[in-house]
Amino acid sequence: MTRHSSHTEKHYTERSGWLRAAVLGANDGIISVTSLVIGIAASGASAQTLLVSCIAGLISGAVSMAAGEYISVKSQQDIEQADLKMEAHELHHNPDQELKELTKIYVQRGLEPSLAVEVAKQLTAHDALQAHARDEIGIFEQTLAKPLQAAFSSAFSFSVGAVCPLLAILIFPAHWVQIGVGSVGIISLGVLGALASYVGGNSVWKGALRVVVWGILAMLFSFWVGSLFDVDVH
């Protein structure tokens, strides 16, 4: 009986697809909608106007994030599929040349020439396209582009992030809304940055600080722009 027969490792790169989209969406949801609310509040708008603006920002932002992420990741997927199609064509028409190419890759990675030839032959016999996709092109199954997953992750996480300023508007009294929204936004960004860094295997403090600093800068800029307009919108 082997003690380590069921040993498996979960690497952080396996999370890169959905994690990047989710973090980007949540971060954008908090920063953009919070900054929007703070900017409008600085102009003298009413609490009702802030609430409507926040909801509009949540809906439009979630749709925009989903569409943008889908198009971006779909383009990446199209490139991957085009490369795989090209490689499949070469494997069919020039198998010997492709075998030499794979062997050369393994030699460059440190294998002895004789061993590199044997490894290339065995991997080619097992799954030639997979071997070339992984070792020649750099396409791995764990990091394949998934447009729908990325789009859903971005839209959902943006909405979750945008709910933070929305709840702050509903909870805090009118004269405290601006400070409340800003405070909730900063705390939310800190938690998000720490969580994303933890899931990604990095320092939670560095991740939190990085997100919070950029978020505060965005809020301050929005506040400054909003303060230029002395408008009371009802």
- The residue behind tokens 């070792």 is 135
Q: Is the pLDDT of residue 228 over 50?
A: yes
Confidence band, pLDDT 50/70/90 cuts, at residue 166: very high
The pTM (predicted TM-score) of the whole model is: 0.70
Give me the phi and psi of 233, to 5 degrees please. -95, 130
Cα-based torsion angle of the residue sequence 73, 76, 77, 79 in order, rounded to the nearest 10 degrees: 160
Q: Is the pLDDT of residue 4 over 50?
A: no
Residue 13 has pLDDT above 70, yes or no: no
Average pLDDT over residues 204-218: 88
First CA to last CA distance, the chain: 75
pLDDT digits (tens, 9 = 90+) for 81-126: 888 898 888 888 888 888 888 888 888 888 888 898 888 888 888 8
Cα gap 47→51, rounded to integer Å = 6
